[in-house]
A = this chain, B = another copy of it.
Amino acid sequence: MKVSKETMAEHQGQIVAAAAKSFRERGFDGISVADIMNEVGLTHGGFYRHFSSKDDLVAAASLRAISETIAKWRRIVDETPGDRLEALVNSYLSLRHHDRPETGCLVAALGGELSRQSCTVKEAVTKGQRELIDFLSGVAPGKTKALRRKQAIVALASMVGGMTLARITSDSELCLEILSDVAGAIPNSVRATV
């Protein structure tokens, strides 16, 4: 029942990918190690050869989810000739992202839960958070580096909060109102940030 080193590395990648998706969909407590192993087609006993605990997987999966977001942002920026920050904001605050938390932003999907995780997890998330801010700083329009960073932080906060508010409502009209109001306000806010 042993597999080759390559296959084992592949399995580990599949476990992290499945976890990154399922955690965003159901929350860290909403899915078990056995469920995740089952998705990959393995039994849960084998999990502990890959990770020392579920917490370890939570950290790895969180970092992976943020990497997926950065990769998507990179793709959008490369495809956009005009205002790149605006393109990112519109993609983030889209109905498509609203409906698909499992492939979207980790912070919007699991914000409150992340803050209650172990140090290991929070350090992984902080690393990812810095990458998100740095990436947005690179497309912000400010004249100085400090200003671009400030614009990035402010835009990210609006994006995370806007999606969070849109997702908790059971009123689809209010949901659309929030998404479009916040998306419309970010460019103004960015320009006005001094």
Contacts and interface: CB of A to CB of B under 8 A. Distances in A.
Interface of A: 26-27, 29-30, 101, 107-116, 119, 122-123, 125-126, 129-130, 150, 153-154, 156-162, 164-165, 167-171, 174, 177-178, 181-182, 185, 188-189, 191-194
Please state the number of chain copies in the assembly. Answer: 2
B165 A181 contact: no
Of A109, A112, A113, A174, most B-chain CB atoms within 10 Å: A112
A110 B112 contact: yes
B188 A194 contact: yes
Contacts of A168: 107, 111, 114-115, 122, 125-126, 129
A180 to B, nearest CB: 10
Contacts of A160: 160-161, 164-165
A170 B126 contact: yes
B182 A192 contact: no
A111 B116 CA distance: 13
Contacts of A161: 156-162, 164
